[in-house]
Amino acid sequence: MGKVPVKNQREIALMREAGRIVAEVLELVGSHVRPGVSTAELDRIAEEYIRSQGGLPAFKGYGPDRDNPFPATLCISIDDAVVHGIPDRRTLEAGEIVSVDVGVSKGGYFGDAARTFPVGAVSPEVTRLLQVTRESLHEGIARAKAGNHLHDVSAAIQAYVEAAGFSVVRDLCGHGIGRNLHEDPSVPNYGIAGTGVVLKAGMTLAIEPMVNAGTYRVVLDDDGWTVRTADGKPSAHFEHTVLVTADEAEILTTNGETGSHKS
């Protein structure tokens, strides 16, 4: 792991602006989640809005493999797809859950967040999966303060999820974020409290629990992007970009209308 960047006030302001657009995209896309809408349509809506705000879609064209860059603005992952689902002509069906992950670049800095939405009515157990995943994110965010260790965040997420009978994905993790979409440190969703780097005010982290109803094990689709649960059970994903401070972490992926610990 390299040195974890600490942001100055100018950089933080730019990240707040990127984060505002991210938050507004998730609200906008969420308002269009309903049976019959295609994931490609949700992607179009998101890209149009990001560009209207002077931002750029951070995921489009991104990836370690130059021969297979991510082709869309949103990662849209349905039911047993954990993350990195590619939007296409598939339409949403009642009873499904859909995870929407969006990154935005503006002014040279990034914001990144995700939410999982029910499509119409879903089962009580799936409702609980969404609730626990969302709450585990905020359990982690509550530990993201200066003087704590990075894995205090990780351990809090893991403990909350496993106490509810679910599992955290181990092959994927959160990350630092700022001038780059992915920076040091990696932010796993499991770990031992009191370990990892000591957090400092000004660090910015994308904290993102990915929680499976069954096993934590995952598999990769042939498209080279879509990650699915190994047992075919549903998965939920919630994410915020946060700023570490001496006190309560500040959520940067918000439109300013919600408090530090609300989605």
What Cα–Cα distance (Å) separates residue 84 from each residue in 76, 77, 102, 137, 248? 7, 6, 10, 19, 30
pLDDT tens for each residue of 104-143? 999 999 999 999 999 999 999 999 999 999 999 999 999 9
Confidence check: pLDDT of 53 > 70: yes
Q: What percent of the chain has pLDDT over 90?
A: 94
List the domains of the chain with CATH numbers: 9-251 (3.90.230.10)
DSSP string, 24-93: HHHHHHHHH--TT-BHHHHHHHHHHHHHHTT-EESSTT-SS-TTS---SSEEEEETTEEE-PPP-S-B--
Compute the average pLDDT of residues 26-37.
Answer: 98
- How many residues are there in the chain? 263
Is 74:101 a contact under the CB 8 Å cutoff?
yes
CA distance 17 to 107: 9
Compute the average pLDDT of residues 30-45.
Answer: 98
CA distance 263 to 64: 30
pLDDT tens for each residue of 193-229? 999 999 999 999 999 999 999 999 999 999 999 999 9
Confidence check: pLDDT of 259 > 50: no
Note the pLDDT of residue 127.
98
Note the pLDDT of residue 256.
61
